[in-house]
Amino acid sequence: MRITNLILQHNRAFKNKNIDLNNDVNVLYSAENMTGKTTLMRAILYALGFSIPNTELIKFDDFEFSIEIIKNDKKHKIKRKEQLLIIDEIEYDLPIEQIEAHSLLFGTNSNEIITNLLGVIYFDQEKGWTLLNRGIIIGVNKFRIESFFRGLNGDDSDDGYKIITKIDQLEKKIAQYRLMFNVSEYQESMNCTVEQNFNSKTYEQKIDEEILAKKMKLAKVEDEIISMNKVIKDNKNFSAYITAKKLFVRNPIDNSPIPVSSETLLDFNDLQDTNIARKNMLIIERNRLKREITENEQKLKKEELLFNIPKIDDELIHRFSAYQGLSSIQVKAVLDKLLKERKELTDILRDKTKENNTWITDAYKIISDYAKELKIPFDYKIDIFTSNLKEKSGAILHKMVFIYKLAYIKLLSQKLGYPLPIFCDSPSGREVEKSTINEMLEIIKRDFSSHQIIIASIYNYDEIFQNINIFSMNRTLFDEQTFFD
């Protein structure tokens, strides 16, 4: 897969900006920081349909992005404006239909692969160089090594899905109980009582309650959109299935055969149209609720500016004292039980992932070979499922993350049948010498020459790569003159 160019258009700008990326190696370069290198790299991923957070000064929702890619000698045109993603004129509503969109774009039906794909192809300066096998990549995007290898092995069984769902539920409960534990400890340390005398709600409380009510309704609407998407998809698959089977039923009037299809099923097409109409109404409702929530949150911020800080402090303490009956000992007992249950399920999932999975064996072989080449000490045990990173120094951890990711990229490209692009944001870490970075990039140059490489860095690496496209950044890429200037 190769990205050929990116076009960005601010919603108030006179003209668009065209960025040529049709090269094997592209370096988004500036000798200084804060010039837009990371923003541009994130914009490329955002245009591909990933949930990517804004940078400090740039909101991606203010832009419309167009991007062209070539995959297996076929060109694809992609557009993104806010939550609308269009791939070859097929529209997707993000994030609801992100799985479907990336299934088409990357050519796989495996949810396990799609949800971990960004963690394979993207190294970032904040967490990417410490994320060995699981955790948050960027924004809401996570990477889980067990899930990734199940995807490679084609394991989408119900048992694995049920375990993953249970672990996700436990993660949410654990987060809740950790918060409750902190609250309970603080309450006990306060050791004071405040007279409760709230007979009337403040204006801010009413807005808070409105926001909460709308968020609860928004969650229900989004759940129903997901449900409607599934119904529409299942009906479409059922129609295709019975048509492919070439079934007939007997006409009771003259005994003539009638082919079974979506056209002859009574009211089938009307039902599909009704489902699609319902989905579109839900999307409109969802967008309205999001807009109203944003408006209420802005009202709340404006009101907070009028508040006197001591008054706020007194009221918050007063409110906090209203919560009673939280025992830190009881909360800790429940939290420990949840943590133990999560560990047991994680161990079961890990064992299930390792069963008859030759992809894991292949990964260990790739990692071991690169570890020898980069002179990683033998006593640093190679374990792709490890959770213990404390004993690894910054430089060694940097190298290990690098070779682990190279193994993931190589295996996933083999699985998909084409070389995936590699995105590397600020590879020069604080504890890593430039010579070490050059050594790692030499491996990419040698073993991943068929992959497109996009690097954001304060170095241009022209001493390593030939025929390199150096895109110099100077803070002006996203700073277009507008109609209001």
Are 7 and 149 members of one domain? yes
Gap between the Cα atoms of 128 and 235, Å rounded: 41
pLDDT along the chain (485 residues), means of 10: 94 86 92 80 94 85 94 94 94 93 94 92 68 80 89 79 84 87 72 43 72 87 88 81 77 82 76 84 88 83 59 58 67 90 88 88 93 81 68 72 92 96 80 78 94 91 90 74 41
Are 10 and 87 members of one domain? yes
Q: What is the pLDDT of residue 127?
A: 56
Are 350 and 372 members of one domain? no
Residue 251 lies in a domain: yes
Token digits of residue 88: 């070859």
Q: Report yes or no: 35 and 101 within 8 Å, Cβ to Cβ.
A: no
Residue 482 lies in a domain: no
Specify the length of the chain in residues: 485
Q: What is the pLDDT of residue 214?
A: 87
Closest CA to 181 of 303, 338, 45: 338
Are 419 and 368 members of one domain? yes
Are 18 and 114 members of one domain? yes
DSSP 197-215: ---S--HHHHHHHHHHHHH
Closest CA to 88 of 67, 65, 110: 67
Q: What is the pLDDT of residue 482?
A: 43
Torsion of CA 289, 292, 298, 301, to 10 degrees: -70
Judged by DSSP in three states, 472 sits in: strand
Are 405 and 455 members of one domain? yes
Sequence-distant (≥ 6) Cβ neighbours of residue 457 within 8 angstroms: 27, 28, 29, 37, 424, 426, 427, 428
Q: Give me the CATH number covering residue 16.
A: 3.40.50.300
**Domain stop point among 331, 356, 381:** 356
User: Residue 421's domain spans which residues?
Assistant: 2-155+358-472
Are 188 and 297 members of one domain? no
Are 294 and 188 members of one domain? no
Q: What is the pLDDT of residue 379?
A: 65
Q: Give me the CATH number covering residue 224.
A: 1.10.287
Residue 481 lies in a domain: no
Are 120 and 162 members of one domain? no
Are 467 and 418 members of one domain? yes
Question: Which letter does DSSP use for residue 62 in this model?
Answer: G
Closest CA to 60 of 82, 90, 38, 83: 82
Q: What is the pLDDT of residue 193?
A: 45
Q: What is the pLDDT of residue 149?
A: 93
Residue 479 lies in a domain: no
Only one residue has tokens 């190279």, namely: 406
Residue 160 lies in a domain: yes
Torsion of CA 86, 88, 90, 91, to 10 degrees: 0
Residue 485 lies in a domain: no
Q: Report yes or no: 32 and 473 within 8 Å, Cβ to Cβ.
A: no
Residue 98 lies in a domain: yes
Are 163 and 216 members of one domain? no
Residue 382 lies in a domain: yes
DSSP 223-274: HHHHHHHHHHHHHHHHHHHHHHHT-EEE-TTT--EEE-STTTSTTHHHHHHH
Q: Is the pTM of this model over 0.85?
A: no
**Domain stop point among 279, 312, 345:** 312
Judged by DSSP in three states, 80 sits in: strand
Residue 326, Cβ density class (10 Å: 0-12 exposed, 13-18 middle, ≥19 buried): middle
Are 334 and 407 members of one domain? no
Looking at the structure of the chain, the number of domains it has is 3
Gap between the Cα atoms of 76 and 483, Å rounded: 32
